[in-house]
Structure 1
Amino acid sequence: MADAVAALLAKKTFAKTEPQHSSAKANSAAQATAKATPTATEKPIKPLVLEAGTGVGKTFAYLVPALLSGQQVIISTGSKNLQEQLFYKDIPALLELLQISPKVALLKGRNNYLCQLRLEQQLNGAQSLDERVLDDLLRIQLWSASTSDGDLGTIASVSEQSNALPLVASSKDSCTGKRCAHYDSCFTRKARQKTLDAKLIVVNHHLFFADWVLKDTGFAELLPDADALVFDEAHQLPDIAVSYFGQQLSLNSLTRMLERMEKLYEADFRDTPQLGELIRRLMTRLRDWGMNLTNRDLQDWRMVLADKTLASQSWQLLDEFHSLERVLLGNVGRHDDLDDYFEKWQELTGKFNHFLACDNPQAAYTVEPSKDLPLLRMAPIDVTKECQALFNADKKWVFTSATLQVNRSLAHFSKGMGLKDCDELILDSPFNYQQNALFCVPRQLGDVRSNSDYQFTRWLEICLQAINAAKGRTFILFTSHRMLEKTALALQGRCHYPMLVQGTASKQSLLKKFRQLGNAVLLGTGSFWEGVDVRGKLLSCVIIDKLPFVSPDDNLYRARANALSQRGGDPFRDISLPQAVIALKQGFGRLIRDEQDAGVLILCDNRIVNRDYGAAFLNSLPPMARTRDMARVVHFLEQIK
């Protein structure tokens, strides 16, 4: 019934057919969204913002009407896992059930596809490769002859952690377009072509925004101009929008570009020694400069520019960029690859110049750690205007997730997305949380911000009590890597169940092992708070160290907080609190995944019960039974067989 209710709700967004409702909830849902169905004299359909709790059935709710509407619909997800679940499992099941066969397409970011040119280049330079990498490249070559789509995620003969995969993945930096010998068979190009006339297109949020940015700047489009767009896992959109309406420059991408130039110089431009000299000198200076940023641990880019030594080195580096640009310009026309490198180097130089100018007071400029060399990022503190231009266009928009509301209101999400005039609806989960879930904030907790020995000792006692009562089958979720590492070290030898720690293997490998073991304890930070689906008795307990407030030292938060304070706003109430509420709901969402699940959520942060703002968290969580008594927790867990 829950699936049918949600399906009728979503159908109003795509078609004008009047559904027949068979429950009070169905009637109220239909009435709440009837405004979204225009008549000949009404205005265009408003965007729909919908929180649908776990178990409501929102996936089928939007897929069924999308498939039956006859319109072109784009479904955008927040994770690759959900994207693949929709395309390979849910959509085929519905097509068989409905006995229809519209064209459906799956499109991922280009780095998910094999680049035949890069594979060829890597094999040509095989003598310099590690033996294991070469072995994987040969497996990829064998697979490439049989794959129809070139999706690297589907290759079973090579580990997802293989160092060979990044070497052959399609990338914008290395793409030569129509000049490529593999252009006609290019997997990335063919994947994009399939979307043009497909009725249902499954993408992810990053790809959607990348497409919009390309359209806005006048470059080639990735996606067709569809009739309707559905964003599942929509709670991720605000952060993703910030990254795409901002700008970033990877020092590693600069290094890779210089390495490609050096190979071209060695092969075809030895008659231009100045080119080789500039490339080698710039590679050395860029690496030294990047390592200096890493060693100084400066996260605020404005602090880098305020340091006279670092600022001077940065401007000298830009001079070297321009010198190389001039030499490349002087050789344009001699080689197609050099012409391509010149255009890309101009773009990278422009980005670096933008960061040195640092002239946008309404943005946060940060230096972020990355593999090898750091990443420079500029993030606007407010993207509502950009979102208004995008989401208020003349088409149908649906934003849905299990975690959008804060204190029973969707206003925080709608406002952040620039949705001034939209329909909003909250559909609560049909699960019996009062009976199947217990929420505990243990007594005798110290101040979580104190980092005292007492607090940590109490924390370990609670973890061990719960783990033993649950016979493993526990997630421990952290708000910081430092606390995770400290806890993992302290639990060694004291936890008598298999312990899986984030960072020791890939996320998917850890989850696979957790399911296989059946009695494991998994310790994780941010990436394990959402997008993780462990059903049944394999997971009976989720322990969270503290409320997931953003760090006050976070550069983007500080920039937003300062701007909001200047307008008379309250940064804690308007920024920090809503973000923490949604993050906590995501953490809890790992526990109860279907109507048969049962388990305990333990939060070791008493601010939720002794601070006024705690009510916002409690009102946003499902209606679980509550306790502060660990003895009741132990008894509850022991009953889950």
Structure 2
Amino acid sequence: MSEWTAQCAEALSADGLLARQLQGFAFRESQQALSEEIARAIEDRAVLIAEAGTGTGKTYAYLVPALLSGKRVIISTGTKALQDQLYHRDLPRIKQALSTPVHSALLKGRANYLCLFRMEQAKSETFASRDLILQFQRVLQWAGKTKRGDLAELSSIPEDSPIWPQVSSTADNCLGSECPYWSECHLVKARQEAQSADIVVVNHHLLLADLAIKQEGFGEVLPGASVFILDEAHQVPELALQFFGESVSTRQWLDLGKDILLESGKITGSSVLLAPPVKAMELRIKQLRAECEVVPGKGAAAILATQSKILTALHDVQEAAETLLADLQLQAGASTALDQCTARADALLARWRVWCSGLNREPDADVPMAAVRWYELSQRGITLNATPMDVSTPLRQYREQSQAAWILTSATLAVNASVDHLAAKLGLNDPRVLVQPSPFDWQNQGLFYLPKQMPEPSSPNFVNALLDAARPVLEASGGRAFLLFTSHRALKQAAQLLEGGPWPLFVQGTAPRMELLERFRNSGNGVLLGAASFWEGVDVAGDALSVVIIDKLPFAAPDDPVLEARLESVRQRGGNPFMEEQIPSAVIALKQGVGRLIRSFEDRGVLMMGDTRLVSKPYGKTFIQSLPPFPRTREIDDVREFFAKVPA
């Protein structure tokens, strides 16, 4: 062990710096071992995949070597909430404990910052409701006081408010250095700060967007670093597919039209010329959306290719876009903002043409598919996507060019103690691997209950049977439960069946996620029903949550066009798509859901699952062996006894 690695280990020891400086710090052997392994990887500029079971304390385990390394480090997290927690809470505590004079910076994507130009533009807009007027007034008041311009500071405005796009920029509508507010721009200042920082905290969306831009040769957003630490790394393969893909949507055209009308209204004569083609574009988009009523909400491009009316409507939108672009070009030089609208129209039209031109071409059976082309409908329009089949090559190329240490960590990376599936997706050849089990006392802290006589998950009576089995569990626990579902349809059905029961009910979709969680915690005996977004990134420690009930094994929807293409690709090379693709993804998702239950050494709880495939199918063993080693039972009396027992 080198002197520096020993220093990292000592800081996390039972009588080390953190134990002396941080109130409530508890020595964990698993945390110290993880930190040592991370330090060695940083020293050797190696790639490390490290699964750290819940309770290991992985955040401190990587922050200590990051801060003591003396190198430039980029730390990327799974969500903006985790990013804020890391930067505002964890990082300052460890910096103070270690007395390290390290300059750190927080950097988010541009949509998270107030755009002063867009805000000024919005002052002349007519808002659709009194609520939006009040929200905009709140933004204006805050804008005069904020130093960072981080929209997360406006926590009183809902996350899904229509006000956000009106006061933030996108890569499409940003004026760049031509903007009259360039010298005051919050995003520019945040990027400048990041360029000079020793440690930069970002999220995967920003990191991957930057890597994707580098592939296109548009320059570097994030500063070069010697160390990349990716927390919640299980999310990276799926997110990377999005960022290395291409998409174009009718919403982008509608937003562009809105900006054109706003800007042309300030220029004499421009509005008269540009309003008709903008209105014509809006009409064509409306007609396209109406024609799409005959196809599923999401599907492969080939589905659209069979519908002559949709093909005509797609072509009509393209023609309207061409007319709009030609009219915009006649206004060249009228204003910086209008010239930027012209550039946006040109880029959108190019993507629209490329996507639609492929509808008339037959795929070549001898050429491996590079990207999956698919569509998705929204209430008012359509998004056309091209998602790459594989991102391992560009990710490997970037990693090799960086010559940096790469640390990928999460509580859920391994499937039956193997991380091969993740390594393959990320193009990692022979990485270092550490699978660090959770230090929790699973034998005494938890119980895994699989009810007897449950119907098959495909049974129309499944949700009723699940709730019949769940009610005695909820009675034994006094509520205090998460019910996690693999579909929104099952969630809604369960909500109706549980309505009016003895436990306060909190249902995803009825309020913002953080508000629901807060109300659930405060209720004392609540039952929260959630789908995908509640399976991970949700932390309810203590007595408020003592039961997690999961309806089915979380296999991805079989109608997903990208998944379908990937499964077909595995088949063509002679592999087993179910075992190679579907099982590993479902195991990781299940581990995330189960991970909501035990969050601290004091927590106790029961995991109940309704899916009998765990014991009736051979692959059930893979799921069970990947979960924490709970005692297992099929008897409800064991659940009652668990809750009747007072912990030592």
- TM-score, normalized by the shorter chain, greater than 0.5: yes
> In the TM superposition, what whole-angstrom CA distance separates every residue of 1:44-70 from its partner, at most 9, and x where no partner exists?
632100001011111011111111111
1:569 is aligned, of 575, 599, 602, to 575
Cα distance in 1 between the residues matched to 2:574 and 2:614: 26
Q: Give 2:625's aligned residue.
A: 619
Matches within 5 A, 1:373-522: 373-393=381-401, 394-451=403-460, 453=461, 455-493=462-500, 495-522=501-528
Q: Look up the equivalent residue of 1:323 and give its one-letter code.
A: T
SS at match of 1:538: coil
1:612-639 deviation digits (Å, cap 9, x = unpaired): 1111111111111101112212322344
1:288 lines up with 2:297 in the alignment: no
Q: Residue 629 of structure 2: SS of its match in structure 1?
A: coil
Q: Which amino acid aligns with 2:79?
A: S
Q: Which moved more, 1:339-348 or 1:266-275?
A: 266-275
Cα displacement (A) at 1:105: 0.3
1:49 and 2:56 correspond: no
Alignment equivalent of 1:537, drawn from 539, 543, 557: 543
Give the distance between the partners of 2:347 and 2:548, measured in 1 at CA. Answer: 46
Residue matched to 1:313: 313
Counterpart contact for 1:9–1:29, Cα < 8 Å = no
Amino acid at match of 1:57: G
SS for the counterpart of 1:532 is coil
The code of the aligned residue for 1:579 comes to S
Matches within 5 A, 1:266-277: 266-268=265-267, 270=269, 273-277=272-276
Q: 1:465 corresponds to which letter in structure 2?
A: P
- How far 1:261 sits from its partner (Å)? 1.3
Q: Map 1:187-202 to 2 at 5 A.
A: 187-202=186-201
User: Counterpart in 2 of 1:247?
Assistant: 246
Paired with 1:31 and 1:210, the residues of 2 have a C-alpha distance of 31
1:548 aligns with one of 536, 554, 571 = 554
How far residue 432 of structure 1 moved from its aligned partner, in angstroms, is: 0.4
Change (3 A) 1:331 1:585: same
Equivalent in the alignment of 2:18: none
The alpha-carbon distance between structure 1 residues 457 and 98, as it changes in their structure 2 partners (threshold 3 A), is same
Quote the residue 2:16 is aligned against.
Answer: none
Q: Percent identity?
A: 37
Deviating more after overlay: 113-122 vs 72-81: 113-122
**Residue equivalent to 1:227:** 226
In the alignment, which residue of structure 2 is the partner of 1:365? 373
Structure-2 change in CA distance of 1:467 and 1:220 (3 Å)? same
| 1:503-528 CA-partner distances (Å, limit 9, x unpaired) | 11111111111112121111010000
Distance 1:272-1:530 versus aligned 2 partners, 3 A rule: closer
Q: Structure 1: how far apart are the matches of 2:10 and 2:553?
A: 34
**1:637 aligns to what?**
643
The equivalent of 2:614 in structure 1 is 608
> Contact between 1:438 and 1:625, CA under 8 Å: does it hold in 2?
yes
Deviates more, 1:518-527 or 1:172-181: 172-181
More off after superposition, 357-366 vs 115-124: 357-366
Shift of 1:371: 5.6
| Counterparts of 1:28 and 1:503, CA distance in 2 | 41
1:350 positional shift = 1.2
* 1:593 pairs with 2:599: yes
Where does residue 41 of structure 1 map in the other structure?
none
Structure 1 residue 5: Cα displacement = 11
The 3-state SS of whatever aligns with 1:546 is coil
After superposition, the Cα gap between the structure-2 partners of 1:7 and 1:440, relative to the gap in structure 1 and judged at 3 Å, is farther
Any idea what the Cα deviations from partners look like across 1:109-159, whole Å, max 9, x if unmatched? Answer: 11111111222222233x555322222222221111111101111125545
Q: Distance in 2 between matches of 1:415 and 1:298?
A: 31
For the residues of structure 1 that align with 2:490 and 2:268, how far apart are their CA atoms?
A: 53
Q: Is the 8 A contact 1:294 1:369 kept in 2?
A: no
Aligned CA distance change for structure 1 residues 192 and 34 (closer, same or farther; 3 Å): closer
Conserved? CA contact 1:6–1:61, under 8 Å: no
Give ranges in structure 1 of 5+ residues lacking alignment: 12-21, 39-43
User: Alpha-carbon deviations, 1:571-590, whole Å to 9, x = none?
Assistant: 00000000000000000000
**Cα offset for 1:174?**
2.7
Q: Which amino acid aligns with 1:388?
A: R
Task: Determine if contact 2:264/2:274 at 8 Å carries over to the other structure.
Answer: yes
User: Quick one: distance in 2 between partners of 1:256 and 1:579?
Assistant: 36
- Partner SS for 2:123: helix
Q: For the structure 1 residues 88 and 36, does the alpha-carbon distance in structure 2 shift closer, same or farther, using more than 3 Å as the test?
A: closer
Alignment partner, residue 114 of structure 1:
114
Please give the alpha-carbon distance, in whole angstroms, between the structure 2 residues aligned to 1:284 and 1:253: 15
Q: Secondary structure at the match of 1:476?
A: strand
Counterparts in 2 of 1:2-401, with a 5 A limit?
A: 8=9, 36=41, 45-125=45-125, 128=127, 130-156=129-155, 158-160=157-159, 162-268=161-267, 270=269, 273-293=272-292, 296-300=295-299, 301-358=301-358, 361-370=369-378, 372-393=380-401, 394-401=403-410
**1:294 positional shift:** 5.1
What's the CA shift for 1:502? 0.7
Moved over 6 A (4+): 22-35
Check the 8 A contact 1:153/1:160 in 2, yes or no: no
State the SS of the aligned residue for 1:357: helix
* Whole-angstrom CA distance in 2 between matches of 1:216 and 1:412: 24
TM-score of the aligned structures, taking structure 1 as reference length: 0.91
Q: Which moved more, 1:359-368 or 1:333-342?
A: 359-368
- Indicate how the Cα distance of structure 1 residues 279 and 385 shifts in structure 2: closer, same or farther if over 3 A, else same: same
